[in-house]
Amino acid sequence: MKILPFKIAKPIDQSIWIQNDTLPHLYDILHQHNEFQITLIKKSTGNVIAGNQFVAFQPGDIFVFGSGLPHALRNDPEYYHEENGLKAQALSIYFESEVFGEAFWNLPETKMIKEYMQKARRGLFYPGAFHPKEAEIIEKVSKENQINRLLLALQLVTRLSKSNHGQILATEGMYNNLNETDEKRLDAVFRFTLNEFYRPISLEEVAGVSNMTVNSFCRYFKTRTRKTYIDFLTEYRIGQACKLLQQEEFNISDICYRVGFGNLSNFNRKFKEINGCTPKQFRKRQMLQNLTN
């Protein structure tokens, strides 16, 4: 059985359809479907899970999920408390590549799009700061119908395929071969990590979440995600640190401990390994970028 197959509500009279979600939080269960998906985050913050990767999102960001890629959108904790009165909003475009027919994909003019859709099977992230025009097209697609919607969707995919700021998400791997048991275990581990990353986590504890011994869990996680759990946890913690570094009220030492690191030197070393710069340099770049936007 495939990992949590997910049926998209497809109108019978449309080959490209829209889902406009306004909810307390976005759909946060790891799932997959055959349809090609382009999602614009309109409101809220959180993390996208795509294959074996987490990436933080904010309004304006665009994500592309190719056919069969396990993914979920998990909002920050404050969106799970009704008393906060927060709403998350996302606008998604769906279509099946088969709808265009084999002859369409064999045209010389569509070769680049065909290759792009293969690349999208690993997921793609487009930061909103660099893609306001693409976000505008997604909005237009949602308001059009019939032939205009089709033409705009092709224009959108073409623009995204040419972008110099798109980031591949998941490590190359056979994610669509995961079974339902794998999905449940990984979903439990991912949820645990998002909820507990800020404190020390032992392998014994996380192995217990998946009802496995430590050795079995380590082999299992590495096989399914192409990385160790410790590497996965470290990458997530650094991602959270990047979010906090954009908020001036936290100093770097505070951020180090807030995201679960035990000492500042290890935090600085891991941050530079992953981002190619120190936390101080990262914050300075972000401040300069905000001034120029």
Indicate which CATH number applies to the domain containing 223.
1.10.10.60
Mean residue pLDDT of the chain comes to 88
What is d(CA 177, CA 1) in angstroms, rounded to the nearest whole number?
9
Q: Name the domain boundary from 150, 168, 186.
A: 168
Q: What's the per-residue H, E or C state across the chain?
A: CECCECCCCCCCCCCEEEEEEEECCCCCCCEECCCEEEEEEEECCEEEEECCEEEEECCCCEEEECCCCCEEEEECHHHHCHHHCCCEEEEEEEECHHHHCHHHHCCHHHHHHHHHHHHHHHCEEECHHHCHHHHHHHHHHHHCCHHHHHHHHHHHHHHHHHCCCCEECCCCCCHHHCEHHHHHHHHHHHHHHHHHCCCCCCHHHHHHHCCCCHHHHHHHHHHHHCCCHHHHHHHHHHHHHHHHHCCCCCCHHHHHHHCCCCCHHHHHHHHHHHHCCCHHHHHHHHHHHHHHC
Q: Is position 287 within any domain?
A: yes
Clarify whether residues 25 and 161 are in a common domain. yes
Q: Is position 189 within any domain?
A: no
pLDDT at 9: 59
Instruction: Pull the structure tokens for residue 28.
Output: 């946060």
Residue 178 pLDDT class (50, 70, 90 cuts): low
Q: Which of 94-98, 164-168, 242-246 has the lowest mean pLDDT?
A: 94-98
Clarify whether residues 147 and 211 are in a common domain. no
Residue 292 pLDDT class (50, 70, 90 cuts): low
Q: Is position 118 within any domain?
A: yes
Residue 185 pLDDT class (50, 70, 90 cuts): confident
- Residues 134/140/144/149 CA torsion (nearest 10 deg): -10
Residue 146 pLDDT class (50, 70, 90 cuts): confident
Please determine, for residue 175, whether its predicted confidence score (pLDDT) is greater than 60: no
Clarify whether residues 113 and 244 are in a common domain. no
pLDDT at 46: 93
Clarify whether residues 73 and 22 are in a common domain. yes
Clarify whether residues 27 and 139 are in a common domain. yes
What is d(CA 222, CA 226) in angstroms, rounded to the nearest whole number?
5
Residue 193 pLDDT class (50, 70, 90 cuts): very high
Clarify whether residues 117 and 216 are in a common domain. no
Q: Name the domain boundary from 120, 153, 168.
A: 168
Q: Are 267 and 261 in contact (CB under 8 A)?
A: yes
Clarify whether residues 41 and 156 are in a common domain. yes
Q: Is position 173 within any domain?
A: no
221 to 96, 226, 255: CA distances (angstroms): 31, 8, 28
Q: Which of 3-7, 53-57, 68-72, 75-79 has the lowest mean pLDDT?
A: 3-7
Q: Is position 178 within any domain?
A: no
Residue 3 pLDDT class (50, 70, 90 cuts): very low
Give per-residue pLDDT as tens, 240-276. 999 899 888 889 999 999 999 999 999 999 999 999 9
Please determine, for residue 109, whether its predicted confidence score (pLDDT) is greater than 90: no
Q: Is position 2 within any domain?
A: no
**CB within 8 Å of 259: residues ≥ 6 apart:** 197, 198, 237, 238, 240, 241, 244, 267
The 8-class DSSP code of residue 179 comes to B
Please determine, for residue 2, whether its predicted confidence score (pLDDT) is greater than 50: no
Instruction: Pull the structure tokens for residue 284.
Output: 């300075």
Please determine, for residue 174, whether its predicted confidence score (pLDDT) is greater than 60: no
Clarify whether residues 219 and 279 are in a common domain. yes
Which range of residues forms the domain containing residue 58? 16-168
pLDDT at 76: 92
φ/ψ (deg, to 5) at 259: -100, 10
**CB within 8 Å of 233: residues ≥ 6 apart:** 193, 197, 201, 260
Give percent of the chain above pLDDT 70.
Answer: 91
pLDDT at 248: 80
The 8-class DSSP code of residue 5 comes to B
Domain count, the chain: 2
Clarify whether residues 80 and 129 are in a common domain. yes
pLDDT at 89: 97
Clarify whether residues 68 and 111 are in a common domain. yes
Number of H helices, E strands in the chain: 11, 9
What mean pLDDT is predicted for residues 128-142? 95
pLDDT at 215: 96
Please determine, for residue 154, whether its predicted confidence score (pLDDT) is greater than 70: yes
Q: Which of 185-189, 197-201, 283-287 has the highest mean pLDDT?
A: 197-201
